[in-house]
Structure 1
């Protein structure tokens, strides 16, 4: 629909600004906001492509700060479990998936608000479990972010290393998830069109977010991101409870 194009452009732009500010949140915000007008099966493949583009340009600057030991285990298990999520995307009704997504985003925001911090790095089993959960979520919603964000930002790693590891994990998972989307026939014409239309908005939003990050304190930026996530979680829950709402 003609009115969906400027709406999609705006959603991607604002989510990219948030990504530039915080280092995460792009897929969460785009999938939720675009689901008001488009089905998840169209949004998720397009967001996979945009996340890959966003991650690739950041890799050179974060390479030395990545916690490779955790990522190797996490990404490995995520790759194995991503097809399970893609199967859910292709077969499970939209409304219950939105309720699950809303709950996960809400819980993630609460955990981050509480500022929970672990004294030691998680065990091998905990890291693998985080990767498996993230893989399922990434395949089903295009957002494996919640468990990964909690894992790294709640770990004893320095903030810079945590952010770098989050970005690297997202990139690896998204690149690994693309073949599964093709295998299930979800990468259709509408998804390709959405990705192409949204690319300029992604680039512009990332640039603006990076500029704002230099002028805004980290504490303020995080509060803004968490407030947006909470609002989006409630809106997504409303869509799941009232499927007749546009986009259901």
Structure 2
């Protein structure tokens, strides 16, 4: 790879880290999207790098002082998401290509609708939702991660509608996605698919991720929760539209 490609890759990593530090999600969404558009690296290689850097981002963001977390919220979404990942991976092998395409299209439409609802319903709920809703949102997150590696929107939408502090929501999301990344890395290691080139790319970008995560934790930007919700809306809408665009060629080929 040329020096220019390395710099482009690090620029993509920096943008993804800033978005993740502000909202608690979208690191993989932004990095994968930018790399795909710029065509600087093979996407299969970047997917593994994302898992490694997601863990680094979590260490940089949640390190130091004890992070603000609500265990009553974290545990159900964490456990159900890990179960959902296993079910999603199984479903990926059990479903046919046409069914997967239709599911991708439906998911994209639902994500766009959810992003709109997030800003239309600008006020959070008056009281915390019941425990079953957190199990359901976490399970859907894991299921969609296993099927499409796009599990963020259900849990992001659910958490940002709760009467929780911004820091609690962000830290819960970062912890959840770090756990999912660790599970995916374990699978990659078990299959012997972790290559030297992937490790070098991760080692190159990891110091930048740790530095930016530490700076965001040390000098947090003064954003209102409303401003963060609008940023989340934009990222979720981008994810939904991306899934729809990916699904359309497959549907047009069939019909």
Band of TM-score, shorter chain: 0.7 to 0.9
Quote the residue 1:246 is aligned against.
Answer: none
Q: Which residue of 2 aligns with 1:113?
A: 119
Supply the distance in 1 between the matched residues of 2:162 and 2:65 (Cα, whole angstroms): 18
Q: Which structure exhibits the higher relative contact order, with contacts defined as CA atoms closer than 8 Å and separated by 6 or more residues? A: 1
Q: Of 53, 62, 79, which residue of structure 2 is paired with 1:50?
A: 53
1:134 to 128, 141, 145: 141
Residue 162, structure 1, aligned to residue 169, structure 2: yes
Aligned residues: 243
| Alignment match, 1:171 | 178
Quick check: 155-164 or 203-212, which moved more? 203-212
Match of 1:26 in 2: 27
Distance 1:172-1:39 versus aligned 2 partners, 3 A rule:
same
Q: Work out whether residues 99 and 240 of structure 1, in 8 Å CA contact, stay in contact via their aligned partners in 2.
A: yes
Distance 1:227 1:150, change over 3 A: closer
Structure 2 length-normalised TM: 0.73
Task: Give the deviation of 1:62 after TM superposition.
Answer: 6.9
Q: Whose Rg is larger? A: 2
1:85 and 2:64 matched: no
Give CA-to-partner distance per residue, 1:63-115, whole Å, 9 cap, x none.
45211022212211211221233456689769938646644542442232223
**CA distance 1:124–1:46, shift in 2 (3 Å):** same
Match of 1:227 in 2: 234
The whole-number CA distance in structure 2 between the counterparts of 1:195 and 1:174 is: 14
RMSD between superposed Cα atoms in Å = 3.7
| Partner-residue secondary structure (3-state), 1:58 | helix
Instruction: State the Cα distance separating 1:33 from its structure 2 match.
Output: 2.9
SS of equivalent residue, structure 1 residue 57: helix
TM-score normalized by the length of structure 1:
0.75
Change over 3 Å in CA distance of 1:181–1:138 after alignment to 2: farther
Shift of 1:53: 0.8
- Determine helix, strand or coil for the equivalent of 1:65: coil
Gaps of at least 5 residues in structure 1 are: 244-248
